[in-house]
Structure 1
Amino acid sequence: MTKLKNLFYLLAFGGTLLAIKFLLIDKIFPQFPNDAGIWFTSGLLLVILGVFVTEKYFTRSLDVLVNVITLIVVLLTLDKPELFRLWDAVFFYCIAVGILALISFVLYDEQKDQNLSSQKIADMSGTVARFLGSSRLLFSIVFILSIFNYFVFSIEKSQLITKEQVAVLVLIIFWGAVLLVEPIDRRFIQPLFDRATRKNRDKLVGKVVRRISPNIIVAEQLPNISTPSAGTLMALNRLRPTNGDHGRALMYLYSQDTENSRHAFFFALDSSPDEVSEDIYVHSIEVDAQRAIAARFPDNEIIRNRSNLVGFVDSGSDIDILKIKMIEGVDNEKRIKEGDLVSVSFYGSPTKYQIINVQTASEAVQGTNKQGGKIITAQQIGAWQTDKQKFEDMGWVPEINAPVFIESAGEEVELIDKNCYRVGVVPKSSYPIYINLEECVTHHIAIIGKTGTGKSRMSAKIIEKMAQIGYQIIIFELDRKHAQSLTRYIDSSLVEEQASDAFDLSKTTKPIVSINLQVDAKAKGTTGTVNLSDIAAGLIEKVIQYQIKDETKKICIAMEEAYDFIPESTFGSQAFGQPTVSRISQMVLKCRKHNIGLLVITQRTALVTKTILYQCHTIIALQSFDETSKNFMGAYINQRYLDSMSILPRFRAIVVGKGSSCDKPVIVDFFDPKLATPNATARAAATIP
């Protein structure tokens, strides 16, 4: 039914009900008690809530709750409920149905695995509640009971036809008409109207030529047929379908042109392979029929989320990598880019994949004709666990031709665990990626990236978060007065300075200690290159000695431009500080036992000893060009992500490792690029999440 027609029926039946009350019932039964008016109330609710407004197509659990609460209020307003037979039964019936609806409403979560016991209970209780609590059934019970309780005595006292009997008969006829008008309209009135006006008739779109998969149907489109928009619902039927029979449901995906024809691709919602034959055609249908189809599949994800459909699972997919046959033109419409998130459901859960590549491909359309297309490559990052606030690897692959949807930003997810730092969000989504700071301390963390990518700002915010939750941080930094130094991004009220030769952790009054490194001639090699390994080793030994006395506190040692303190053997002279670096490596191995962690910050991994870098089990990698950084990251991420490292935009990073909230590597937007403007350093640093 159209909205206009629904309004007409609502006014017609509402007006009829008022006429019956004031022109018939009130005059024939003037002495009846006020409670007898429940017939009118239940009838009005049946018309408004049941047929023409809230439950035109289907009943939701929330609708059942509204129905039950409304009817309970009506029952409680009766002056003498004892005169209403079965009042107790109806009341407790409402309570029972309301409890079932409430259970379904509270427990059901479409994001959870539908095989969970809680979801099975929600589904079963919802099914029962929607049947027993539909307004058609609920208010019909009260309407009929009110007639028998207050009016039926007039039929019993005389066998002759009386005006009282006529009035009761009119009430019953009204009730039947309200319930029957919708199916009569759908099967008789609307088809008759269509024939009379020759408008709003289904149009022939094309003839089915083949089915390329269980769900994908191809039709040869007729000439002069305008191309519908993606997601339009259509019907699969005979050439001349009977009136009102819209056949099987299809959803239009895209069209491809060949030399002599155009082929339209459809997703079959409920048709079987044996239904595709020479006399099967695709018909366009009117908006009302499309709504009716959508109502037939209230839980069908592809209908519910068709505006975000981007393609289907293609061959060549595996547990980690998803190949997606992209719907033609959807990339321009959705502005799809590397790093965007897509979703596909299997095992009852929507599993997220991150786009890491796209390739062009061609396929045969008809005979030797070929049509170009695009194949998206996406890496699985897992299913989002709301209770744990993290992604978990699903460890399997979806069915071929399963629909794939693009994710979009929603309501921001607030972190529950205060011991975690929110690195950023997966691009164009609201899913946060965070690192567990305790894991970062016990298993060390490294932040790598070329100059200007934002690694110092990120490091500063991680350090501030550590200080906020009670960690002690010691910063090793050579050129602290430089405009881009690490400490300049940190809240100065949290920082105190100590000289390296007078360093004493027991005398600190603030959570962050910045070491004022005393560099003399002994700290320089023959080439004049600064070697701070000896100083760093001495400071780390002091930290360990201090921590051994009381290991309850967690300490993090941050090394800005770590190659100044733990250089690789190939950096400078082969013997330049290497015995000391080896000693530092041994100390770092023991640090985790004493709740001491390392935060390694560097722009080039080639210059930092790999013995320590490989002890960092959480990595945040920003844009890097050098092959050494890629080779180092090759131990953590696959080749596709490695290829992305050199083209990562500013304020985008790859997060991977033990401390990450995602079991897989993931690309993250960690900073608002709108703030990356000249003279905005202080403001930007203050607003990083």
Structure 2
Amino acid sequence: MTKNKRIILLTMLLVILGIIFGIDSIIREQKDKIIIVIFTSLFMLAFTSLLVEHFFTKPADVLASSVSILLLIAPLKSILSEMGWLYYLVFYYSLFQFLLAVISLILLDGTKAEEHWKNKTSYYTKLICSHFGNSRVLYFSLFVTTILTYIDSQNIMFAILFCYAIFIILINPSKLTFKINKKQKTNAGISSLGSVVGVHSNNIFLVKLFKDYKKFEFLDSVFFKYKEGKRIKEEYGIVLDKYYLNDEQWARILVDDNKLCEKIDNTKIVYNTKTIPINHVVLLKDNTLSIRKDICGVIVENSTISKIRFYYKSNIIISEGTLLEVFCNDKKIMYQVIEGNTNIIALEKNNNSSCIIGEAIQLGEWDDNEKTFIKFGWVPNMNTLVYIAKNLDKVHALSGYTNIGNIPNTNYPIFLHLRDTINHHLAILGVTGCGKSVFTRDLIRKIAFDGTKVICIDFTNEYKEKLADRKLKKIVCDSGNNLMAINLQILLEEKNKYANQRDINKIKKAENSIRDTFGCCLKSFLTGDEEIGIFELPDLSNTDETIEYTKWFFKVLFMIAKNRNNYDQRVCVVLEEAHTIVPEWNTMGTSDNTSRSLVNSIAQIALQGRKYNIGFIVIAQRTANVSKTVLTQCNSLIAFKEFDNTSKEFISNYIGNDLANSLGNLKSRQAIAVGKSFKSNIPLIFEVPEINEK
């Protein structure tokens, strides 16, 4: 019986009930509260039979019915005194059913097996109260005891009311509905998909669809039975996909080992599972099974501990960097997508089906206390479900660390230790337009705010303009530059002479002057209030003078670090466009000796700087033109988009070939981070937030 039909029938019955109580004088002769008891019992008998418990009775329904009767008759004990022992029979019977329903609900434990004593007790008390405590039994008992006491059995109205109640009892909707559904399943095949023909692979069943199967969607819930030896097993699962094979339609059904379908809403299962034929697959109502809607695929063959391969089948769009979660040995392990390939699935003999196979590297199990990933030492089973990762409930800041971004489309943070960045040196690589420079300037602000003196080697005046919101200082003033330009010219002129023609006194005097000028300038900056120092190149006559000028600056800086401990300051040197300052030997455009001398000076700081609280941030577009002696001293790396093979090959030494191959696919503001400065030293893809510079 459909819901609309039940509502119409209920309306008719209530109208008839109203007419009976409105016109009959015998009923009106009774006390008002007696009339209320008789009317309420008949009203609730009709209402619950047709709308509340039309298919079956749950303990919660018994609870509601018994409580309503107890609340109705308890205050009327004195008025219903003529009922005598019948009153106590109804009262204590309702109370007994109430207690059974409470026990059934309290003992039910979804975390324990069905064989556990709590669930067994809950099941048997549920059977008793649902059969002997349903609304028809309780309200009919109340009606009969009341009418027997207060209405003459010889009166015609007694017979009318009694027949009214019996009619309601006889129109049991659950029996009517069962017959209708049974007819539909055997004749029309409503909600039937097809029949199981075999196991395609571990936990995946192959189903041949009926010609008149009901339309279904990805992840829809299904139920079926099949024989395993002499046993008949029942399974709940989900639809993975549908395809054509030999001019017929087929579907694949997944039954998950991780108890994907263990939570079942029995109120939404309208089938009597005993009547469903073996290997017959039926479609369940929406939300019958507790299934997450963020499933994006299942694990396939050739997955390893460090990298999984998964069959991508989802309405959810994923991309490189998407964070996934997979359950393995009851632990939630996180993976990050790095690749996707089209592939062929073998169905039967020479029949194939196309698909997409994704690849994701293992990040590990998230430790919320340490805010890092911990590597997991095993691989998920075949056909384990792969989900889109959920966001963290809360993200707390860590002392000494700064959050430089998140894993794409999540709130999983990437924490960078500011002081370790100085101690271990940091390389930031990436092509023009990928967000590298904006990110670097924001990082410089954070390092300076943390109390570190930052020296920016600025050849383009970009830092001077973009960092104007911080306390800046030009390290060498114009008068100092003019003085050093004179001394540098003298120094180079003498050094270009033959050794026996050089004026040693002139050389020493020029070197002392340069050393003293740089020393005074650096002391003024390191002991002053300014946070960031800008080192600009003066207008020198040729490239040799520029390199010599830069070499002396770093030479003096290292002397101050060794002899004066930077005047008790931590120093971070930012090498923008590093290929112009520390070029690889085979790309040097001037005298090899001059350039190598500069590279050696900077390399010396890179090698020993940790001992003297001085570190580097090396910024470059390509690694091919930058000194590997300096780059290899950087124990932390942030790699934005790169295209050239030389850069990818160098970076692969840090992050592995799989991630290195994904460098060319990174979006703007996306990068790969790895190294000692990061809280999670596992290489991963992250996204820099939008940074608005003033």
Smaller-chain TM-score bracket: 0.5 to 0.7
Question: 1:318 offset after TM fit, Å?
Answer: 0.8
Structure 1 counterpart of 2:238:
251
- Aligned residue in 1 for 2:473: 497
Paired with 1:637 and 1:556, the residues of 2 have a C-alpha distance of 25
1:366 is displaced (CA, Å) by 2.4
Equivalent residue for 1:472, pick from 448, 452, 462:
452
Q: In structure 2, do the counterparts of structure 1 residues 194 and 150 end up closer, same or farther at CA, with 3 Å as the change threshold?
A: closer
Cα pair distance change 1:149/1:324, threshold 3 Å: closer
Q: Is 1:264 equivalent to 2:250 in the alignment?
A: yes
1:317 Cα deviation (Å)?
Answer: 0.8
Residue 281 of structure 2 is aligned to residue 290 of structure 1: no
Residues 251 and 267 of structure 1 are in contact (CA less than 8 Å); yes or no, is this contact kept in structure 2? yes
Amino acid at match of 2:444: I
Residues 1:216 and 1:40: Cα distance change in structure 2 (over 3 Å): same
Shift in CA distance, 598/432, structure 1 to aligned 2, threshold 3 Å: farther
Unaligned runs of 5+ in 2: 79-87, 258-276, 477-517
Shift of 1:396: 1.8
CA distance in 2 between partners of 1:89 and 1:348 (Å): 42
Match of 2:536 among 493, 504, 517: 517
Structure 2 counterparts to residues 121-136 of structure 1, below 5 A: none
How many angstroms does 1:654 deviate by?
1.2
Letter in 2 for 1:645: L
Distance 1:151 1:363, change over 3 A: closer
What SS class does the counterpart of residue 605 from structure 1 fall into?
coil
Q: Percentage identity across aligned positions? A: 19
Paired position in structure 2 for 1:317: 303
| 8 Å Cα contact 2:13/2:46 also seen in 1 | no
Q: Following TM superposition, by how much is the alpha carbon of 1:402 offset from its aligned partner in structure 2, in angstroms?
A: 1.3
The TM-score with structure 2 as length reference comes to: 0.65
> Of the candidates 176, 188, 191, which is equivalent to residue 182 of structure 2?
191
SS in structure 1 of the partner of residue 534 of structure 2: strand
Amino acid in structure 2 at the alignment position of 1:357: E
Matching residue of 2:404: 423
Stretch of structure 1 that moved more, 158-167 or 226-235: 158-167
- Deviation, 1:636, is 1.9
1:477-488 to 2 correspondences below 5 Å: 477-481=457-461, 485-488=462-465
| Alignment check: 8 A CA contact 2:425 2:635 kept | yes
Q: 1:10-21 to 2 correspondence within 5 Å?
A: none
Contact (CA 8 Å) 2:574, 2:616: kept in 1 or not? yes
Root-mean-square deviation (CA, aligned residues, Å) is: 5.9
Distance in 1 separating the partners of 2:560 and 2:38: 90
In structure 2, C-alpha distance between the alignment counterparts of 1:664 and 1:628, rounded to whole Å: 23
Preserved CA contact (<8 Å) 1:433 1:661: no
Change over 3 Å in CA distance of 1:616–1:230 after alignment to 2: same
| CA deviation after TM superposition for structure 1 residue 399, in Å | 0.3
**Contact kept? 1:256, 1:264, Cα under 8 Å:** yes
* Contact map agreement 1:569 1:576 (CA 8 A) in 2: no
In the aligned structure 1, how far is the partner of 2:129 from the partner of 2:351? Answer: 57
* 1:201 and 2:190 matched: yes
Inter-CA distance 261–607: structure 2 relative to 1 (3 Å threshold): same
TM-score (normalised: structure 1): 0.65
Change (3 A) 1:40 1:540: farther
Partner of 2:84: none
Q: Computing the radius of gyration over CA atoms, which structure comes out larger, 1 or 2?
A: 2
SS of match in other structure, 1:318: coil
Rounded to whole Å, the distance in 2 between the matches of 1:443 and 1:580 is 18
Residue pair 1:619, 1:657 contacting (<8 A) in 2 also: yes
- Aligned partners of 2:434, 2:661: CA distance in 1, in Å? 17
Tell me: CA distance 1:238–1:352, structure 2 relative to 1, closer, same or farther (3 Å): closer
Give ranges in structure 1 of 5+ residues lacking alignment: 109-118, 240-244, 272-278, 673-683
Identify which of 450, 458, 478 aligns with 2:439.
Answer: 458
Deviations 1:599-632 (A, max 9, x none): 3322233444444434433321012234443233
CA distance in 2, matches of 1:253, 1:9: 37
Q: Which letter maps to 1:254?
A: D
Paired residues for 1:254-653 under 5 Å: 254-258=241-245, 260-262=246-248, 264-269=250-255, 281-283=279-281, 285=282, 290-291=284-285, 294-295=287-288, 297-298=289-290, 301=291, 304-305=292-293, 308-327=294-313, 330=314, 334-386=316-368, 389-406=371-388, 415-417=395-397, 419=399, 420-427=401-408, 429-438=409-418, 439-467=420-448, 470-481=450-461, 485-490=462-467, 492-500=468-476, 501=518, 502-503=521-522, 504-505=524-525, 507-510=527-530, 512-517=531-536, 519=538, 526=544, 532-539=550-557, 542=560, 556-570=572-586, 572=588, 573=592, 575-591=596-612, 594=613, 597-653=615-671
- Count residues with an aligned counterpart: 597
Write the deviation string for residues 376-416 of structure 1: whole angstroms up to 9, x where unpaired: 22212234455555443333210012122345xx7787641
In structure 2, do the counterparts of structure 1 residues 218 and 152 end up closer, same or farther at CA, with 3 Å as the change threshold? closer
SS at match of 2:297: strand
- Residues of 2 paired with 1:321 and 1:445: CA distance? 27
Structure 2 residue aligned with 1:275: none
Aligned with 2:647: secondary structure? helix
Report the CA distance shift for 1:39/1:221 in structure 2 as closer, same or farther (over 3 A): closer
The letter of the residue matching 2:397 is D
Task: Tell me how far apart the structure 2 counterparts of residues 618 and 602 of structure 1 sit (CA, whole Å).
Answer: 14
Deviates more, 1:17-26 or 1:312-321: 17-26
* 1:685 and 2:661 aligned: no
Counterparts of 1:541 and 1:82 in 2: how far apart (Å)? Answer: 102
Contact 1:343 1:404 in 2 (8 A): yes
In the alignment, is the contact (CA less than 8 A) between 1:24 and 1:167 conserved in 2? Answer: no
Partners of 1:210 and 1:436 in 2: CA distance? 52
**CA 1:350/1:46 → structure 2, altered by over 3 Å: closer, same or farther?**
farther
Q: Equivalents in 1 of 2:550, 2:50: separation in Å? A: 81
Kept in 2: contact 1:422–1:432 (CA 8 A): no
Q: 1:139-169: CA deviations, max 9, x gaps?
A: x999999999999997998999799999999
